[in-house]
Structure 1
Amino acid sequence: MIKFANYKKLYLIPKAQGLGLSKKLMETALSFAFEHYEQCYLETMHELKAACILYEKFGFTLLNEPLPATKAGKFNEEIVPLEDVNGETITSDEINQTESTIEDLATLKTIFKEDGTVTAGNASALSDGGSALILMSESYAKEHGYTILATVGQHAEIGCDPLYMGYAPFYAVESLLNKTGKTIQDIDLVEMTEAFSAQSIPVKKNLNIPDEKFNIYGGAIALGHPLGSTGSRLVTTLAHALKQEDKQTGIATACIGGGLGIALMIEKGVGL
């Protein structure tokens, strides 16, 4: 995002601090030909009869999840420290640094429209960030003495009505489970994009994912959502979580603009 071209209010490297992105980013990246994404998530909420007060409470829970994970060093292995222009080393994400309360969230202004329901407390923040993974064959890794963090298994891609694109992970995970002959009970951890709590609630509920398996270190509502980095960030966090929590099988899943959903199954170390 810091290299997003053609607009005036861009981050300027190395003097990126304090400068914002133009609204054009919102207009182009978070809209598609038919509806703005907030409308998509509201339609998802109304169609699935989820209560708005519920997703405010859900946002409250998600905002506070990364704090203990960060303090416990859960992200240390997946973060590459960077030095800023002042010579200070950045070693942790900065989106959520303090605990939030439901009372705090209730005072937040709506983001997209005056009578809307989406706020900074129940939506993911647009943030700078990047992630990368190294993918190779098992034989090559063993031949060159590399430690295998995780093994990539089956995946599923599926489309749905673009108006309900936030619910697409439900269909993708359902398809993946059918393809592999597994149930959600066979899955130890799930990492899912939390663009808005309005879409996270029905997906989590209807897939019967228990709290102790879902985005256990926090999701995009608390950590931020660097556009273009979602897939590798989810898989990176999931792979490290499987290792650190001594779990075996995980699924990473994301909604995609235009009505697409994707899900990927991985296992710790050499598996599948």
Structure 2
Amino acid sequence: MSLRSANNPGDISSNMMDNPKARDCLIPMGITSENVAEKFGVSRKKQDAFALASQQKSHLSSFSVCFPSLKFSCTSPPKYFNLSYSFFTRAAKAQQMGLFKTEIVPVKTTVADNDGNKKTITVHQDEGIRPSTTLEGLAKLKPAFKEDGSTTAGNASQVSDGAAAVLLAKRSKAAELGLPVLGVLRAFAVVGVPPDVMGIGPAYAIPAAVEKAGLTLNDIDIYEINEAFASQAVYCVEKLGIPMEKVNPLGGAIALGHPLGCTGARQVVTLLHELKRRGRRAYGVVSMCIGTGMGAAAVFEYPGN
């Protein structure tokens, strides 16, 4: 996928190109973000504010859960969804506090400097988190996909690579093997949406999965919604009326990255470890949009310590 240029979909059957709905499946992901922003009125300012929340700001109530020992004040925090944010970092502070250590396996690799000198290093944390991000800096970025667009490199998930693994088993088998149970998969759902606005998928997949689990949206403690683009993430959060303090409390793909094929598992890992930190019985949702017009969501339960 990454070996093709952005505007080269490859050899496509004329049967597909003659079908408007099928043809829409070929729309570049960045343009679908612009479509969502235009169709549903998600402004550049709101997208940048959401990106900043993922990258640099943390909601006060998120810190009361994740960092109960921290005390701080803020005189004039920016507002988003009528919620105030402190001048601490969400993803960066979580990284600084070591909250990702339980879910990251250190990897040894060999790197070379500009002079060709090689050395072995151990990679033990994500590289993409940028705590110095500001609204002013985000506002200076040019649209990435459309001349008069609103999606930029700053309010979209960054280019990254990674891997994640999740082991799903029967409880009896886990007990037999002596494996700790991090959580229980209660339900999942996959839905279809128009391909040209594929980013809205979570707004429809989440209610479907939550209903299958016999729960309501209010029963969910944490929503890990993939931030492919701020435009679609903002739309989904607003459409469902989810309190921002429940959304990606440790940052999302704008800060952490969105490696294709890895993100879903990464979200599950992050969610289950965060539910465990909270200690009590709780529910969480993992959801993401899917290119060509789909959305997927799953409901997990942490039984409590």
Q: TM-score, normalised by structure 2?
A: 0.77
User: Secondary structure, in 3 states, of the residue corresponding to 1:78?
Assistant: coil
The structure with the larger Rg is 2
Q: Following the alignment from structure 1 to structure 2, what is the Cα–Cα distance between the partners of residues 76 and 217?
A: 13
User: Secondary structure, in 3 states, of the residue corresponding to 1:35?
Assistant: coil
Of 157, 160, 166 in structure 1, the residue corresponding to residue 193 of structure 2 is: 160
Q: Following the alignment from structure 2 to structure 1, what is the Cα–Cα distance between the partners of residues 9 and 258?
A: 16
Name the CA shift for 1:33/1:189 in 2 (closer, same or farther; >3 Å). closer
- Deviation (angstroms), 1:174: 1.3
- Deviation (angstroms), 1:25: 6.6
Counterpart of 2:66 in structure 1 is none
Counterpart check, 1:62 vs 2:96 = no
- Is the 8 Å Cα contact of residues 205 and 287 (structure 2) preserved in structure 1? yes
Counterpart of 1:82 in structure 2 is 107
Name the CA shift for 1:78/1:252 in 2 (closer, same or farther; >3 Å). same
Counterpart of 2:41 in structure 1 is 49
- Deviation (angstroms), 1:28: 5.1
Counterpart of 1:249 in structure 2 is 283
Amino acid at match of 2:5: K
Unaligned runs of 5+ in 1: 5-20
- Is the 8 Å Cα contact of residues 250 and 266 (structure 1) preserved in structure 2? yes
Counterpart of 2:140 in structure 1 is 107
Of 32, 45, 52 in structure 2, the residue corresponding to residue 40 of structure 1 is: 32
Counterpart of 1:15 in structure 2 is none
Pairs within 5 Å for 1:80-159: 80-85=105-110, 86-159=119-192
- Is the 8 Å Cα contact of residues 169 and 263 (structure 1) preserved in structure 2? yes
Name the CA shift for 1:191/1:27 in 2 (closer, same or farther; >3 Å). farther
Of 195, 217, 221 in structure 2, the residue corresponding to residue 188 of structure 1 is: 221
Q: Following the alignment from structure 1 to structure 2, what is the Cα–Cα distance between the partners of residues 32 and 59?
A: 27
Counterpart of 1:8 in structure 2 is none
Counterpart of 1:16 in structure 2 is none
Counterpart check, 1:198 vs 2:198 = no
Q: Following the alignment from structure 1 to structure 2, what is the Cα–Cα distance between the partners of residues 138 and 27?
A: 46
Counterpart check, 1:24 vs 2:57 = no
Amino acid at match of 1:137: K
- Is the 8 Å Cα contact of residues 158 and 257 (structure 2) preserved in structure 1? yes
Q: Following the alignment from structure 1 to structure 2, what is the Cα–Cα distance between the partners of residues 164 and 77?
A: 36
Name the CA shift for 1:169/1:27 in 2 (closer, same or farther; >3 Å). farther
- Deviation (angstroms), 1:44: 1.5
Q: Following the alignment from structure 1 to structure 2, what is the Cα–Cα distance between the partners of residues 40 and 177?
A: 26
Counterpart of 1:210 in structure 2 is 243
Which stretch shifts more, 107-116 or 60-69?
A: 107-116
Q: Following the alignment from structure 1 to structure 2, what is the Cα–Cα distance between the partners of residues 195 and 127?
A: 12
- Is the 8 Å Cα contact of residues 189 and 297 (structure 2) preserved in structure 1? yes
Which whole-Å deviations, capped at 9, do the CAs of 1:1-29 have from their partners, x for residues lacking one? xxx7xxxxxxxxxxxxxxxx655378559
- Deviation (angstroms), 1:224: 0.7
- Is the 8 Å Cα contact of residues 125 and 220 (structure 1) preserved in structure 2? yes
